[in-house]
Amino acid sequence: MVRVLLIVTGLSLLKLLVHQFDLEVITVNPLFSALVASTVFLLGFLLNGVLTDFKDSEKLPGELASALEALGLEIHGIPAHHHGADVTVPLAAVADLAQGILAWVRQRLGTEELMFMYRSCHGHVVGAAVLLRGESTLQGRLMAEMASVLRSLNRVETIRETSFVPLVYWLANAGAALLCGGLVLMKGSSVSESIFFLFVIAFLLIFLLNLISDIDNPFGFSDPNSAEDVSLDVLQAAASRLQSLSEMLHPIRL
């Protein structure tokens, strides 16, 4: 918000200088109205697209939390099927993976490091599945949950690394820049009215462009300017429950 206000204030001061030196060379005509309409259309198209992706992204932390917690509970229940089965290590691996995913989503852990943790956890889960001798359905569920976790991780990575229609972004930014430039150079009945309309229109355009860019990456937790990110509360809660479940079996872990 502060950055937007600084840019708009700079444009208003530029407009005042242009007026003082009599450099206003553009008059209002239907073509300028067409520029306004086309810019608004592009912004509406972008906003609608990124909002749709944002709503889909909101489901991913819940899907990850459900898959991880179901995996942990399935492993925790293995001794009920086979008395004496030791599931301490695989359950701890799942709890560590949950913490790693949480750190990765917050961009405190690299993708390669997370994939190493996933492969290690997968190996431990396979070892847990081996304990379910003759229980092919339960074994299949363990592997299905691991596949679900991997699918969600790849989806998060794709969303973080892919921009929504980059060419339309370029056109929207170009249209907004041309429109603001036209308002700066436009002749008006009075300088106060011209500055007022420039301030309002430029503020809305630049604010929307920043909002769209922010929403386009709903996992931008490492960006201090990012305000619109998905909630990780459900994933945080699931990771905490898995940690508690693991510590119940093995209270002392180095």
* DSSP output for 33-81: HHHHHHHHHHHHHHHHHHHHHHHHHTHHHHHHHHHHHHHHHHHHTHHHH
3-class DSSP state of 26: strand
Residue found by looking up tokens 């490091």 in the block: 113
Percent of the chain with pLDDT over 70: 96
The answer on pLDDT for 222 being more than 80 is no
Query: What is the pTM (predicted TM-score) of this model?
Result: 0.81
For the chain, give the mean pLDDT. 86
The answer on pLDDT for 170 being more than 90 is no
Exposure b/e, 148-182, CB count within 10 A at least 16 = b = bbeebbebbeebbeeebeeeebebbbebbeebbeb
Report the half-sphere exposure of 116 (CA within 13 A, side-chain side).
Answer: 5
Residues counted in the chain: 254
Per the CB < 8 A criterion, the answer to whether 35 and 183 are in contact is no
Query: Average pLDDT in the 196-219 region?
Result: 88
Rounded Cα–Cα distance for residues 118 and 116 (Å) = 5
Residue, of 115 and 178, whose pLDDT is higher: 115
Per the CB < 8 A criterion, the answer to whether 60 and 160 are in contact is no
Q: Residue 86 has which token pair?
A: 């030791």
Q: Residue 30 has which token pair?
A: 């239907």
Rounded Cα–Cα distance for residues 180 and 173 (Å) = 11
The answer on pLDDT for 251 being more than 60 is no
The answer on pLDDT for 19 being more than 90 is no
Rounded Cα–Cα distance for residues 23 and 19 (Å) = 6
